[in-house]
Amino acid sequence: MNDLSPTHLESATATTRTPVQTIRRSGAHLTRRSVLAKIGATLAGVLAAPAVRTAKAAVQKVFVSSGAPKGYDPTKHKWVMALDVNRCIGCGLCAEACKKENHVPEGHYFRTWIERYVITKPKPGSGASRGETLVDCPNGGMHGFGEPPVPKEDILHSFFVPKLCNLCEHSPCVQVCPVGATFDAPDGAVLIDPKYCIGCGFCVQACPYGCRFLNPVTKTAEKCTLCYHRITRGLKPACVEVCPTQTRVFGDLKNAGPEDPIQQFYQNNRVQALKPHLGTEPRVFYAGIDKEVR
Amino acid sequence: MINEVTNVVLEVMPRFEGYVYPNEAAPQPLWSVLIVLYPYITGLVAGAFIMASLVRVFKVKALDPVYRLSLLTAFAFLLCAPLPLLFHLGHPERCFEVMMTPHLTSPMAIFGFVYAWYLMAVLLLELWFDYRQDFVEWSQNESGFRGILYRAFTLGVTDESEKAVALDLKLGWIISIIGIPSAFLLHGYVGFIFGSVKANPWWGNPLMPIIFILSAMVSGIALCVLNYMVLTWVRRHRLDMRCLDAMCMFLFYALVIDAAVEGLDWIHRIYSAEETFQTLRQLATEKLFWTLNIGQALLGTATPLLLLGTLQLIRKRVPDLARKRMYFASASLILLGVLAMRWNVVIGGQLFSKSLRGFMSYKMEPWGMEGWLMSGILLALPFIILTVMVKLFLAERLQESGHVPQAEEIEEAVEV
């Protein structure tokens, strides 16, 4: 009965309290703030983990799906191309070099091509500022261009526009790929894993610039990779290498000094991107194009 | 204009007009007739299911005779829906990657899951709960292969107590309710596959999923009308005119809404007349003249609207035979019109260059994976499957349990 006396109960309570208090005292640094900070840090870690994993996966994907050499770090580069249309003479060497370098199938398949724009003079008295716009691209412009479609005296402007993958910041082709076979490499290239592509053609439909095609031999999607096998080994893309007029400017934004051609290009030109209204944010810029270029 | 008709059967030069990007200058569009069939068949599934749910969820008693036929139609077509997509792939052997390692921002990847959900969680379950009691009884009465089959279909659940049957009905009803948004999702997603392509002004349109859902409902109901008429004709039964009138009333209203929304799309395009409008106008008035204006608009929409609309006003004064013929003609025209609509969307979207400076043409081959023969087979396949299913699950000699699939009955049954 003595055990149940109030005094004993009190003492019992006191003894049971002690360990709790001890824990509180011993963990005096476990303040509300520190606990919250720890929870926050854990949460941040959990949240950041997928992002880190994705970034890591993207790097791994580069090696799995491209011919990048060992030791190449895609996170240390940001490749880009720019085009000074004022310089292009439409020789077509770039398109030809691309076909050869990348084993692009014969026929109407092109990773890069050249368009010729001919804007005619307006008919006298028509009240129009310009005449019609005629565009052609015989065989991708590979073997140059013949006589213009209208007599020379009727031409107001004529120029050549090389086309290639626009390296979109928000690539619609990457967005729609059902298996993730096409992806944004950390170094700015948009690549395709041919061992993974199911050949559905959705990316071809989604590209606003007509830059993709289904390879009739491999039955997978294909496009300009900026000659990934070359640039990862310190070489220039084939089209840039052969361009006799330096229309195509290629560079690494993460490693370009002020004298680098790509920085010079940005410094010396006001630039335009193709189809900016679609929000794809192309990273390939053009200098000297006309509103008619789409 | 004439070329566009002849091009379907006979090659007519030139293949390209104006300027098209080199990669677009292919002899065939990338997505050709198989991709026309894919949304067509999927739409028929969604529409037939909506038809069935009119009976089950919306308690339209007049439609009882077509409830099971509609469900079986939906099932037969659903089994065939992914085939055109699969055959079209460059690497069909990699198709499971869409489900195993999906890229979640892709409409096509999500469609795989929506399809699987609809097949496994909606249609199969609803059919099973609806048929379970019958399977149990048929397995006892039938011998031989049929008996084994029905016994297998019971999946070993042979409880026929009132409580068990009431539970079947209740679960069937719940699945049906889940099924309606699922059917919308299924076909809305097909619409989104096209509607999400902002690079293509003919496709990239927020109304696209809605237009696809509405045209799916229209085509699905029309298919059920035809199936019902053909089945009763084959069996030399009398058509239940009350059921047929009710079906065609729903068909008419669905068609009115469908035509209104598609009209709205055009009004918006014409009024806003954006950069792409001249190209699209030329596409609609020249390249797609026959399939769009004549096939889809005049024959597939205006004529059935007129026929069905007239019958809504003066149904009682039109004799049964004339009414049947008008219904048959309307349903057939609608099915053709919706096929033309799928053609116009899929093929039309690839008849003009994304440079907006030129046009391509399309000639359908007789043979090969994307030819007339293959599309004929793929269109016939669901009907063959449906015939087998009707023989197995709607056979005249099989006594049906006779439970009514409406909610009221379920509630009563559950209370008992």
Residues A233 and A158 in one domain: yes
Sign of the C-alpha dihedral, residues B297, B300, B305, B307? positive
Name the closest residue on chain A to residue B199, using Cα atoms: A208
Residues A124 and A211 in one domain: yes
The last residue of one of the domains, among A5, A40, A65, is A65
The string over B308-319, giving b where at least 16 C-beta atoms fall within 10 Å of a residue's C-beta and e elsewhere, is: beebeeeeeeee
Residue A13 located in a structural domain: no
- Nearest CB among B85, B103, B199 relative to A180 is that of B103
DSSP A75: G
CB A119 within 8 A of CB A155: yes
Name the closest residue on chain A to residue B204, using Cα atoms: A206
Residues A245 and A218 in one domain: yes
Residues A92 and A45 in one domain: no
State the pLDDT at residue B14.
59
Domain harbouring A88, CATH code: 3.30.70.20
Cα–Cα distance for residue pair B291/B309, rounded to 1 Å = 23
Cα–Cα distance for residue pair B297/B255, rounded to 1 Å = 12
**How does residue A35 score in pLDDT terms, banded at 50, 70 and 90?**
confident
State the pLDDT at residue A243.
98
pLDDT at A77 over 80: yes
- Nearest C-alpha of chain B: how many angstroms from A202? 8
More confident site: A8 or B357 = B357
Residues A75 and A214 in one domain: yes
Which residues of chain A does B348 touch, with a Cβ-Cβ cutoff of 8 Å? none
- Express each pLDDT in A51-69 by its tens digit: 777 777 778 888 878 888 9
Residues A127 and A142 in one domain: yes
The answer for residues whose C-beta is within 8 angstroms of residue A31's C-beta and 6 or more apart is none
**Residue ranges of chain B with per-residue pLDDT less than 50:** 407-416
- Strands, sheet with A113-120, edge to edge from the N-terminal-most edge strand: A133-136, A113-120, A155-163
- Nearest C-alpha of chain B: how many angstroms from A85? 18
State the pLDDT at residue B402.
66
CB B350 within 8 A of CB B360: yes
Residue A12 located in a structural domain: no
pLDDT at A244 over 50: yes
Q: Tally A–B CB contacts below 8 A.
A: 125
Which residues of chain B does A202 touch, with a Cβ-Cβ cutoff of 8 Å? 106, 108, 193
Question: Could B196 and A176 be called an inter-chain contact, meaning their C-beta atoms sit closer than 8 Å?
Answer: yes
Interface test with B, best of A202, A207, A211 (most B CBs within 10 A): A202
Provide the 3-class DSSP secondary structure of residue B101. coil
Question: Could B31 and A205 be called an inter-chain contact, meaning their C-beta atoms sit closer than 8 Å?
Answer: yes
Task: Give me Rg for the CA atoms of chain A.
Answer: 30
Residues A74 and A142 in one domain: yes
The answer for residues whose C-beta is within 8 angstroms of residue A214's C-beta and 6 or more apart is A199, A201, A204, A220, A221, A222, B30, B90
Which residues of chain B does A117 touch, with a Cβ-Cβ cutoff of 8 Å? none
Write the Ramachandran bin of B106: left for phi over 0, alpha for psi from -120 to 50, otherwise beta. Answer: beta
As a CATH number, domain B17-415 is 1.20.1630.10
Residues A57 and A81 in one domain: no
- Nearest C-alpha of chain A: how many angstroms from B202? 12
Residue A1 located in a structural domain: no
Is the CB of residue B21 less than 8 Å away from at least one CB of chain A? yes
Residues A282 and A221 in one domain: yes
Residues A156 and A265 in one domain: yes
| 3-state SS track over B243-284 | HHHHHHHHHHHHHHHHHHHHHHHHHHHHHHCCCCHHHHHHHH
More confident site: A230 or A41 = A230
Take residue A47 and report the two structure tokens written for it: 């949240």
Pairing of strands A79-84, A285-287: parallel
pLDDT at A6 over 50: no
Question: Could A179 and B22 be called an inter-chain contact, meaning their C-beta atoms sit closer than 8 Å?
Answer: no
User: pTM surpassing 0.90?
Assistant: no
- Express each pLDDT in A248-288 by its tens digit: 999 999 998 889 999 999 999 999 999 999 999 999 999 99
Question: Could B103 and A178 be called an inter-chain contact, meaning their C-beta atoms sit closer than 8 Å?
Answer: yes
Cα–Cα distance for residue pair B395/A57, rounded to 1 Å = 56
Q: Where are chain B's structural domains?
A: 17-415
CB A146 within 8 A of CB A114: no
State the pLDDT at residue B11.
54
Q: What is the mean pLDDT of residues A13-19?
A: 45
pLDDT at A17 over 50: no
CA distances from B104 to A174, B89, B190 (A): 11, 19, 15
Pairing of strands A133-136, B17-18: unpaired
Cα–Cα distance for residue pair A249/A284, rounded to 1 Å = 10
Residue A292 located in a structural domain: no
- Nearest C-alpha of chain A: how many angstroms from B300? 28
Q: What is the mean pLDDT of residues A88-115?
A: 97
Residue A9 located in a structural domain: no
What are residue A52's phi and psi, to 5 degrees? -65, -45
Question: Could A109 and B23 be called an inter-chain contact, meaning their C-beta atoms sit closer than 8 Å?
Answer: yes
Question: Could B354 and A201 be called an inter-chain contact, meaning their C-beta atoms sit closer than 8 Å?
Answer: no
Rounded to 10 degrees, the C-alpha dihedral B248/B252/B257/B258 comes to 80
| 3-state SS track over A82-143 | EEEHHHCCCCCHHHHHHHHHCCCCCCCCCCCEEEEEEEECCCCCCCCCCCCEEEECHHHHCC
State the pLDDT at residue B6.
52
Average pLDDT, chain A: 89
- Helices B162-195 & B407-415, crossing angle to 10 degrees? 150
Name the closest residue on chain B to residue A220, using Cα atoms: B90
B410 CB burial (10 A radius; 0-12, 13-18, 19+): buried
Provide the 3-class DSSP secondary structure of residue B292. helix
State the pLDDT at residue A50.
74
Cα–Cα distance for residue pair B303/B289, rounded to 1 Å = 17
Q: What is the mean pLDDT of residues A209-214?
A: 97
ipTM summary value: 0.91
State the pLDDT at residue A26.
47
Residues A31 and A113 in one domain: no
Is the CB of residue B108 less than 8 Å away from at least one CB of chain A? yes
H or E element that contains B356:
none
Sign of the C-alpha dihedral, residues B250, B252, B253, B257? positive
Residue A184 located in a structural domain: yes
Residue A5 located in a structural domain: no
Q: CB B265: neighbour CB atoms within 10 A?
A: 16
Take residue B275 and report the two structure tokens written for it: 């950069």
Which residues of chain A does B203 touch, with a Cβ-Cβ cutoff of 8 Å? 205
- Nearest CB among A108, A172, A179 relative to B103 is that of A179
Residue A14 located in a structural domain: no
CA distances from A280 to A12, A167, A285, B31, B232 (A): 73, 9, 13, 23, 56
Take residue A142 and report the two structure tokens written for it: 């590979």
Count of the separate structural domains present in chain A? 2
Cα–Cα distance for residue pair B20/B3, rounded to 1 Å = 19
What are residue A182's phi and psi, to 5 degrees? -105, 140
Domain that holds residue A152: 70-287
